[in-house]
Structure 1
Amino acid sequence: MKLSILDQAPIPQGSTSTDALQFTKKLATLGDELGYHRLWMAEHHNGTSFSSSAPEITIAHLAAQTKQIRLGTGGVMMMHYSPLKMAEVFKTLSALAPNRIDFGVGRAPGGDHHSIHALAQGKAYQPDDQYDKLATTLQLINDQKTNDPLYNQVIAAPHEVALPEAWLLGSSGNSARQAGKQGVGYSFAQFFNGEMSKEIFDTYRHYFEPSYFMPHPIISVSYAITVAETTDEAEFLALPIDLARLFLMRGRLPQTLSPEDAQNYPLTEMDRAILAKNRSLHLVGTPKQVSNQLLREKEAFGFDEVMINSNQYSFESRLNVYRLMAKELLNKPATN
């Protein structure tokens, strides 16, 4: 099973945006050394909790810092961008780092209505069919005529370069059929709502049509994961992440608390019930316990790859999650 990284460049309390992006460089280097297959950067707007607002810029820098790991976006929020611009950006990236770039896109806004309005420069949002937008972008990337006359008089430069892998993100199954029909990979965000099912993945495979971007169907699943040498330590490190989800459900997105502050955070009985319910969205335990669960779910649901999202308060704790999981699933010794 391939193991990969989904990074949001989180900014814990007491850290800065610059700290978060500098840490992303360390994470990419470690992932490269340990044999992680790919690292994707998310796209988030109008907040102080994440530094990853321009993932295509970050992966360009990371490509120069690494040797083998694939780098991509998980994902570009395509509602904000022109197909021509997306095609040109990812063809440029692919020319600079051949056979190492992933073009991953999602239909969500990656922010609130204020950021949607600002990214549209104050203009009314045009609810384009985003699946059509993806199809047009893929055609431009592949130097093909599009089905949209607006783009048939333009060439997405650079021309005739090695193309990126292409992926469509999803969290509810709605995109599975379209990912298959457009011949791209399907990346399912299990950490988002926990609604993974074999039926969703079977739908994707049933409708899959081979393309330049993906000759056969590939499914990755993103999990929120916290592991440590003991279960108690893992639970201690996991609570700030669980609280962050609780705050998000209430319309707040503060910076991640320290584990100590999280332990002292006043919780109501309703808070505790919500935390218990949400625990299925966050895999917590020893590396062996979590790895065994991943392998069971891979067998049950039939996916190909796991992407780990790990947003611990401490940068060192985050690195250690990726070290421990690589040691368990990739047979790679932990490194400093």
Structure 2
Amino acid sequence: MRLSVLDQAPITRGNTGQGALEKAVELAQVTEELGYYRLWMAEHHGSDAFASSAPEIVTAYLAAKTEKIRLGTGGTMMMHYSPLKMAEVFKTLSALAPGRIDYGVGRAPGGDHNAIYALSQGATPELDHLYEKLDVALELIKDEVPDDPLYNKTIASPEGIQLPEAWLLGSSGNSAIQAGRMGLGYSFAQFFMLGAMRKEIFELYRSNFQPSEFMEKPEISVAYLVTVAETKEEAEFQAKPQDIARIHLAQGRMEPLMTPEEAQEYPLTEAEKVGIQQNREIHLVGTAKEVADKLRQDQEVYGFQEAMICSIAHSQEQRLNTYKLLAKELL
């Protein structure tokens, strides 16, 4: 099983956005040394909880600060961008770091109503025809001329570069068939929705897969939210701020992550306590062996090739510890 990293550049309470991005660099360098296969930056807008609003820029910086780990976006929220611009960005990245760049795209907005309209400059956001938009972007990346008359009169520069890998993100299974038909990797966000991961989603992807210039055979990665420590008790202590943050997110609140000490004192309602226990299915908490055993079991059931680990701890030390302990167990 390959191990990879999903980084949202979390801004934890008492820290800054600049600090979160500096920690993203450290995370990339440490996980590269540990043997992680790839690192993707997420895309979030209008949030004081995450600093990763421009993942393609962070990707370029990380490429200059690392040597071998694959880098990319998990994902570029394509509703906000022209196919031409997406093609130009990822061809440029791939020219600068050939063989190391991933073009990961998603259909979600990555932000709330206000952020969506600000990104579209007040125009009606493009919520439909996103797969058609992706088709055009992929054609331009391949130096092909699209049929769409809006895009067939210009090139996406630079031309003749090594193609990035291309991945489509999903969290409910709706994009599995499209990812297969387009010959893309399929990255499933297991931590998004309780009970959403099912065998039939991946079977649909594999059965519909058609080889492409971007992917010769089906490739599936699954992204997990993980908190690991030397003991189960310590892992639970470190995980509680994220548990509370997920409860708040379900209530429409997104705010910087509190400290573990603050989380212990936080007054939870009985319903919130039940919600945290239910969320244990999508937030893996425990020792490295316990979490590694769960990942191996899931790989056996679902047949994915790669587990992408997202760790959101208040301290960088604890976040790095999660990746280090998992690497010792699985790599």
Fold-level similarity (TM above 0.5): yes
Match of residue 12 from structure 2: 12
Match of residue 168 from structure 1: 168
Deviates more, 1:273-282 or 1:169-178: 273-282
Match of residue 57 from structure 2: 57
- Whole-angstrom distance in 2 between the partners of 1:237 and 1:274: 18
Matched position secondary structure for 2:122: coil
Query: CA deviation digits over 1:260-296, x for unaligned, max 9?
Result: 0000000111111111111111000000010011001
Q: How far does residue 12 in structure 1 lie from its aligned partner after superposition? A: 0.5
Q: How far does residue 314 in structure 1 lie from its aligned partner after superposition? A: 0.7
Matches within 5 A, 1:35-74: 35-74=35-74
Matched position secondary structure for 1:193: coil
- Whole-angstrom distance in 1 between the partners of 2:105 and 2:229: 32
Query: CA deviation digits over 1:64-88, x for unaligned, max 9?
Result: 0001100000000000000000000
Matches within 5 A, 1:120-269: 120-194=120-194, 195-269=196-270
Give the AA of the match of 2:165.
E
Tell me if 1:327 matches 2:297: no
Matched position secondary structure for 1:151: coil
- Whole-angstrom distance in 2 between the partners of 1:126 and 1:36: 35
Q: How far does residue 127 in structure 1 lie from its aligned partner after superposition? A: 3.1
Match of residue 334 from structure 1: none
Give the AA of the match of 1:155.
I
Give the AA of the match of 2:153.
Q
Query: CA deviation digits over 1:96-154, x for unaligned, max 9?
Result: 00000000000000001111111011112233311111111000000112131111111
CA RMSD of aligned residues (A): 0.7
Query: CA deviation digits over 1:215-243, x for unaligned, max 9?
Result: 10000000000110100000000000110
- Whole-angstrom distance in 1 between the partners of 2:80 and 2:126: 10
**2:80 touches 2:126 (CA, 8 Å); kept in 1?**
no
- Whole-angstrom distance in 2 between the partners of 1:302 and 1:125: 36
- Whole-angstrom distance in 2 between the partners of 1:254 and 1:88: 34
- Whole-angstrom distance in 1 between the partners of 2:226 and 2:47: 23
Match of residue 97 from structure 2: 97
Give the AA of the match of 2:316.
F
Stretches of structure 2 that go unaligned for 5 or more consecutive residues are none
Deviates more, 1:213-222 or 1:272-281: 272-281
Match of residue 311 from structure 2: 310
- Whole-angstrom distance in 2 between the partners of 1:300 and 1:232: 28
Matched position secondary structure for 2:192: helix
Matches within 5 A, 1:287-298: 287-298=288-299
Deviates more, 1:51-60 or 1:194-203: 194-203
- Whole-angstrom distance in 1 between the partners of 2:40 and 2:283: 19
Matched position secondary structure for 1:152: coil
- Whole-angstrom distance in 1 between the partners of 2:36 and 2:278: 31
Matched position secondary structure for 2:29: helix
Matched position secondary structure for 2:327: helix
- Whole-angstrom distance in 2 between the partners of 1:303 and 1:44: 26
- Whole-angstrom distance in 1 between the partners of 2:325 and 2:112: 35
- Whole-angstrom distance in 1 between the partners of 2:182 and 2:124: 28
Give the AA of the match of 1:137.
A
- Whole-angstrom distance in 1 between the partners of 2:291 and 2:112: 33
Q: How far does residue 94 in structure 1 lie from its aligned partner after superposition? A: 0.2
Which segments of structure 1 move beyond 6 Å, counting only runs of 4 or more? none
Give the AA of the match of 1:89.
V
- Whole-angstrom distance in 1 between the partners of 2:278 and 2:126: 37
Count of aligned pairs between the two proteins = 330
Q: How far does residue 254 in structure 1 lie from its aligned partner after superposition? A: 1.0
Over the matched positions of the two proteins, sequence identity in percent amounts to: 61
Give the AA of the match of 2:290.
Q
- Whole-angstrom distance in 1 between the partners of 2:308 and 2:81: 25
